[in-house]
Amino acid sequence: MIKNFKNFVLEGRGISDNIKAYSIFIYSLFKNIDSYEQMDLEYEPFKLMDLKIYFVMSDYYHGEYSFRDTYIKDDKLYEVAITLKIDRNDVIKSKIIGLIAHELTHLKEYLDIHRKIEKTKIDIEPNYIKIREVYRNMKIETKDPYHKFIYLLYLSLDTEMNARIAQVYDYLLEFNIKDENILFDKLKLHKNWEFLEMLNNFDSKKFVDDNVNNIEVSGLLKITKELIDKFKDKNLNTNSKMLFLNKNINDIDDLYRFYFDFRNYFKEKCKKHIKKYKNLIKEVIKDLNNEKSS
């Protein structure tokens, strides 16, 4: 049965942001068992048609989406499939809603990119897609010490960080607290804050030393030059935040400097997204005040 979101908007509470509303609606279909739902979500300006949701009871939380059959028509996104793995031993409403919001944020950004391409008639490839292709093309084993850096590149993607920010909205809302400082402390208890700290606490010297111990200076130089070449292939070395990619890397001192530059790059990303988290906290408080007055 295809469910239509318009009915839910009329029946449920009014939430101006469509991702918040969609997340609550999709959660309302969860039955605590493996299940499948298909729906149309027609709420301006982010419309999803024939959206397929797969709830899968699992031993952990994980969300993923598939664009295999996806197409865009009349400014609507058609035929997207989202799989939501729910930890059967830790079924918590805010976690499920957060997972849904995370994946919906990715879908919205996907649609926004295509809208921009359509408007400008220019085939835009955003930096986050370029960076994602770079690290995906690096053949690094998970157990390899260098894999930590590849994972940090993933964590630093704006789209991934934006999705993680959206993911904590309902978690914070459920505390029903209107104090920014207390909510910020609650935020620090969320798993997504750990990812931000991983990025912010990148120890570039230790990273270089660990990899040199594993593959020697020559091995780390080889991987680093391969990484730089892939960044340059995507013209990322022209990005004002990544000009250090143009520096020559010939010895261990160059390696220390190069990864220290990436350390600073990661820290700047963290500062940017901490501001977004603080704005989210203000939004939570605003929504709580609106609930009380309605």
Residue 91 confidence (pLDDT): 97
pLDDT of residue 44: 78
Quickly state the pLDDT bin for 1 (edges 50, 70, 90). very low
Domain positions in the chain are: 2-120, 127-293
Q: Decide which of 43 and 271 is more confident.
A: 271
The enclosing H or E element of 177 equals none
pLDDT score recorded for residue 111: 87
Are 173 and 288 in contact by the 8 Å Cβ rule? The answer is yes
Quote the pLDDT of residue 278: 93
pLDDT tens digits for range 154-186: 889 888 899 999 999 999 999 999 999 999 999
Of 114, 120, 147, 111, the C-alpha closest to 227 is: 147
Taking 50 as the threshold, does the pLDDT of residue 197 lie above it?
yes
Least confident among 43-57, 101-115, 126-140, 228-242: 126-140
Segment 99-126, tens digit of pLDDT: 999 999 988 888 888 888 788 777 666 7
pTM of the model: 0.86
With bands split at pLDDT 50, 70 and 90, how would you rate the model's confidence at 292?
A: low
How many helices (H) and strands (E) the chain has is answered by 11, 7
- How many other C-beta atoms can be found within 10 angstroms of the C-beta atom of residue 157? 18
